[in-house]
Structure 1
Amino acid sequence: MTSLQRFNSGRVVPTSVPFPEGVRVGGMLYLSGQLGNVPGELRLVEGGLRAEARQTLENIRTILRGQGLDLQHLVRCTVMLADMADWPAFNEVYREFFGNTPLPARSALGCNGLALGARVEIECMAAVG
């Protein structure tokens, strides 16, 4: 059987939550949904959708780097928005954040209620090898 490695550094997601930052299995890393929370706290950054989106992506990068990976290792992201009217603004932040890094496959969907009242949540998968 393939071994599973669950991890939570506490640098992004507080260790008090009932889920890990991610799970590594085989050649894949699966990140739990990430919010624009202040690193290590259950409190969102202030400033609305753009600030939350930037912090969410920063949190994802922090988790990836903790596993010896970076943005170019992402193969898929699922973006959940509290309001699909925020999609154009989110896309601007997303493009700016990734810069010249090749973009992963992506889906975006509207949600009725995200944790902590967040405007955005992102789940990701990354290739390890």
Structure 2
Amino acid sequence: MSNKSVIHTDKAPAAIGTYSQAVKAGDTIYLSGQIPLVPETMEIISDDFAEQTEQVFKNISAVVEAAGGQLSDVVKLNIYLTDLSNFATVNEVMGRFFKQPYPARAAVGIKELPKGSLVEIEGIVVV
């Protein structure tokens, strides 16, 4: 018998492909990548990188809370950036959402993201 469950909340953007917002297996939650879509409109919040990053963290927070956790339960984040010069801005925005001890993290520069997003973040949470 599987102890796997799909996590969904209307407080985060609906999936735009064949994936779930998150999947919980035991006490571990696997977060799908979030881009800066506003849940109510399913549109990118703006062209501003800091605003996009803030929206992504809001979306992640909503999914984590729907799974019964909180941001302090995040153990690993993978951040995808179309421009690595935005790395310092990611740190600044992330600092508004997370306190020490911070989760483990990777930041990867890539060519392109869905819907023209400048940032996408996925993660692992343990509750």
Separation in 2 of the partners of 1:15 and 1:56?
14
* TM, length-normalised to structure 1: 0.89
What is the aligned residue count?
127
Q: Is the 8 A contact 2:79 2:120 kept in 1?
A: yes
Cross-structure match for 1:42: 42
Deviations 1:63-90 (A, max 9, x none): 1111111011000000000111111111
Unaligned regions of 5+ residues in structure 2, if any?
none
Q: Which moved more, 1:32-41 or 1:52-61?
A: 32-41
Separation in 2 of the partners of 1:16 and 1:116?
10
Cross-structure match for 1:127: 126
* TM, length-normalised to structure 2: 0.91
1:12 corresponds to 2:12: yes
Cross-structure match for 2:77: 77
Corresponding letter in the other structure for 1:107: A
C-alpha displacement of 1:109: 0.5
Deviations 1:107-126 (A, max 9, x none): 00001110111110000100
Corresponding letter in the other structure for 1:103: Y
Corresponding letter in the other structure for 1:109: V
Q: Give the share of equivalent positions with the same residue, in percent.
A: 28
Corresponding letter in the other structure for 1:92: E
